[in-house]
Amino acid sequence: MITMVKPLNIAHRGFSGKYPENTRRAFLAAIDEGGCDGFESDVHLSADGEPVIIHDAALERTSNGAGMVGGCPFSTLRELDIGSWKGPEFAGERILHLEELLEIVLDHHIVLNLEIKNYEVFYRGIEEKVIGCIKALGAEKAVFLSSFNHISMKKCKEIDRTIRTGLLYEYPLLDAAAYARRHGMDAIHPQVSCLAYSPKLTGAAHKQGIAVNVWTANTEEEMRLCIEQGVDSIISNYPDKLGELLASQG
């Protein structure tokens, strides 16, 4: 009999299905209401080089600001409201510094999958900034990095080979696990539809010592697919629903 390891329940940008993404409220709700094992989140650099937690390179979608994240100093970004776009009851949520998110992670003994957002905008030195922040708080064991910019993940390994890194991708790749292993990565991060296209993906990756962390499984069908294929982490906007499904699987 094969013993299945329960995958981690990773809240995508916090409990983003119910709360404004990447806010303190969304992260805390993912723990309190969603029972998550950790968060997935995103980091950019401000104009003055501070690592900040927001998904888009531009401010318009999730804040009352305008322009590019990288064009504003942290003090300006901090004044923005990043909650009201989701609903007036969320007014007053502020952009978090990476240190603040790491403190939540460490205080609650959970994990963080941090996506370095350096492919729409290339932030000079973002890898050093992010890893420096992680190490300053002693959060190395709690964090694993990912990016669609695979060169960036290689650079992270060059900065500190103990930092766990994963390669994000949206469409099926040939020999994804072998590619990741060849470049010294720890994980692959496929979009959930890739599992349907490549049903042997997880098994092949595990044979090569590569973890599989899947995004973003929001329907029960997608969640079940991830569980059946034995992935290591399931990233979802609905950690509550995922948690219930995982519990029902025993």
For 169-210, the pLDDT digits (tens) are 999 999 999 999 999 999 999 999 999 999 999 999 999 999
Let me know: does 132 contact 111? Beta carbons within 8 Å: no
pLDDT above 90 covers a percentage of the chain that reads 97
Let me know: does 189 contact 166? Beta carbons within 8 Å: yes
Q: Which of 44, 55, 97, 189 is catalytic?
A: 55
Q: How confident is the model at residue 5 (pLDDT cuts 50, 70, 90)?
A: confident
Q: Sketch out the chain's domains with CATH numbers.
A: 8-249 (3.20.20.190)
Distance CA 208, CA 188 (A): 11
pLDDT above 70 covers a percentage of the chain that reads 98
Distance CA 185, CA 168 (A): 11
In the predicted structure, residue 250 carries a pLDDT above the cut 80: no
**Active-site residue 55, yes or no?**
yes
pLDDT in tens, 47-75: 999 999 999 999 999 999 999 999 999 99
In the predicted structure, residue 3 carries a pLDDT above the cut 70: no
In the predicted structure, residue 4 carries a pLDDT above the cut 90: no
Q: How confident is the model at residue 241 (pLDDT cuts 50, 70, 90)?
A: very high
Q: How many residues belong to the chain?
A: 250
Mean pLDDT across the chain, nearest whole number?
97
Q: How confident is the model at residue 219 (pLDDT cuts 50, 70, 90)?
A: very high
Cut 0.75: pTM above it:
yes
In the predicted structure, residue 1 carries a pLDDT above the cut 70: no
**Active-site residue 206, yes or no?**
no
